[in-house]
A and B are shown apart, each in its own frame.
Chain A
């Protein structure tokens, strides 16, 4: 039954080989992002488990739908109808504004903004690394999900996709400690980069000097720089601005608008800029690298793609 003289390399040799293999895998995974294929294959194996773990919650939602009373359904329906009407009225205005905007852009010679594709995905309720903020979604490469794809909800930007499997994908939230998103202040167009703090309801704006015009309550929207997130989606509101005389930069924190730890449905956006020849050189893999890396990495895509803003950004930097 148990062979006394075991075949093949000894356990020590095997251990050393496997540890070295792990180190090699980690290096390749971190530096060159070449292991997405392996990861997505393994994630397929894992999908049944995730699905099973998620089943009770799915069942709960299903039960809630099935056993809701006529009264609540009617009430909800009425509520949606009113909201629909309200939205329609606002959309009428938006329609006119959009046309006006397109006309003005034509006058300016700027490129028109094209429509974006959307897909609703559900969050699979499974826990991942407790020290990071990741979510698992039930859509994968089967639905053309790509690495670096923006994830939003009805309130604002949630994060972006980092791993894609055939049936599921993993997204990183904007508050993850290794995530950063280029934003601008809605009020005055001031550009900044919002770093995740590792805390689910806090973002940090670093490297802004004391005299920056930013106030508590300002809304931060995506600036669209870096060709990653489409422009003008709300991200966060500024919650505190501390100007400590002893420090080089102001300490600014913001609260994400998206409901990062609630809700079950998210929206996946196809950023039309992916078709942009300027961005074509950037493969999705390098995208992941630029966003989830050291702060020095983050400036690269901007200087490569958006000429003018990068100039301004560097000017801002030199002022600092």
Chain B
């Protein structure tokens, strides 16, 4: 139990850090390239501790994202739930995959999430310029291998990976 709690606490702290990175002010040119920090961190935890982090935590995180971004409540949450659902279902396969393969899967998942958010924006009649809209997807994908290694180290140091993984 203590182990699970420690895992969960580490997870919570990294998600909070991801939120801070997500709202940190960046120069104008860089804003368009901001990686989707919260989704990436949630993906990592859904992959490594699927018994603790699942679709419900993803939904709550998504709602917080909606509040911080000023999007409709549920807009980011729905996308995040779908991404985490796929990760949750495939976590054993993904864990065995190489970092590059993981990154490719994540690329497509993030693409789906962005499309869902864009779709809702389109319905509301405020779809933005398309050319840079998918930049975060690309930067997030490129960032994944590094983020994975950092989170794994943090996880080992503060949370310890359970024996079964």
Residues of A within 8 A of B (CB): 1-3, 11-12, 14-15, 18-19, 21-26, 29-30, 35, 38-39, 42-43, 45-46, 49-50, 52-53, 57, 125-132, 134, 162-163, 170, 177-178, 198, 261, 294
Contact check, A42 vs B67: say whether CB atoms are below 8 A apart: yes
In contact, A198 and B129 (Cβ under 8 angstroms) = yes
B interface residues, how many (CB within 8 angstroms): 48
* Distance of B34 from chain A, by nearest CB (Å): 7
Q: A1-B162, A18-B81 are in contact. Are A125 and B25 (CB under 8 A)?
A: yes
| Contact flag A22-B59 (CB < 8 Å), given A178-B124, A294-B125 | yes
Tell me the bound Cα distance from A170 to B71 in angstroms. Answer: 11
Given contacts A131-B126, A131-B133, 15 further A-B contacts (CB under 8 A): A14-B54, A18-B78, A22-B81, A25-B73, A26-B72, A46-B67, A50-B23, A57-B25, A126-B25, A127-B31, A128-B68, A129-B70, A130-B34, A170-B70, A261-B28
Q: Please indicate which of the listed interface residues A127, A130, A198 has the most CB atoms of chain B within 10 Å of its own CB.
A: A130
Bound Cα distance from A21 to B75, whole angstroms = 11
- Closest approach, in angstroms, between the C-beta of B110 and any C-beta of chain A? 15
B interface with A by C-beta (< 8 Å): 3-4, 16, 19-20, 22-26, 28, 31-32, 34, 51, 54-56, 59, 62-64, 67-75, 77-78, 81-82, 85, 88-89, 120-121, 124-126, 128-129, 133, 162, 164
Task: Kindly list chain B residues whose C-beta atoms are within 8 Å of the C-beta of A131.
Answer: 121, 126, 128, 133
Given the known interface contacts A2-B51, A11-B89, A26-B73, the answer about A46 and B68 at a Cβ–Cβ threshold of 8 Å is yes
Task: Determine the chain A residues whose CB is within 8 A of the CB of B81 once the complex forms.
Answer: 15, 18-19, 22
**Would A177 and B20 count as touching, CB distance under 8 A?**
no
Q: Contact between B64 and A46 (Cβ–Cβ < 8 Å)?
A: yes
In the complex, what distance in Å separates the CA atom of A302 from the CA atom of B71? 27
Please determine whether B71 and A129 come into contact, CB atoms closer than 8 angstroms. Answer: yes
Do most interface residues of chain A lie in helix, strand or loop, or is the interface mixed? helix
Cβ 8 A contact of B88, one of A11, A25, A129, A132: A11
**27 sample A-B contacts, Cβ–Cβ < 8 Å, listed by A number:** A1-B162, A2-B51, A2-B162, A3-B51, A11-B55, A15-B82, A15-B85, A18-B77, A22-B75, A24-B74, A26-B75, A29-B72, A38-B73, A45-B64, A49-B16, A49-B19, A49-B23, A49-B68, A50-B68, A57-B25, A125-B25, A127-B23, A131-B126, A132-B126, A162-B70, A178-B124, A178-B126
Task: Please give, as numbers and ranges, the residues of chain A lying within 8 Å of B88 by CB-CB distance.
Answer: 11
Cα–Cα, bound, A313→B163 (Å): 73
From B121, which residue of chain A is reached at the shortest CB distance?
A131
A127/B124 in contact, CB under 8 A? no
A126–B67 touching, CB < 8 Å: no
B68:A178 contact, CB within 8 angstroms: no
In the complex, which residues of chain A have a beta carbon less than 8 angstroms from the beta carbon of B129? 198
Given A11-B85, A18-B81, A53-B25, A39:B74 Cβ within 8 A: no
Cα–Cα, bound, A177→B126 (Å): 6
**A-B pairs with lowest CB-CB distance, top 5:** A22-B74, A25-B74, A22-B78, A131-B128, A15-B85
Q: In the complex, which residue of chain B has the Cβ closest to the Cβ of A24?
A: B74
Least CB distance, A262 to chain B, in whole angstroms: 12
A29-B74 in contact (CB<8A): yes
A162 CB contacts on chain B under 8 angstroms: 70
- Considering the chains assembled together, what is the distance between the CA atoms of A177 and B25 in angstroms? 21
Contact assessment for B16 and A18 in the assembled complex, using a CB-CB cutoff below 8 Å: no
Contacting pair B67 A11 (CB below 8 A): no
**Does the CB pair B69–A128 fall under 8 Å?**
yes
**Knowing A18-B81, A22-B81 touch, does A11 contact B54 (C-beta < 8 A)?**
yes
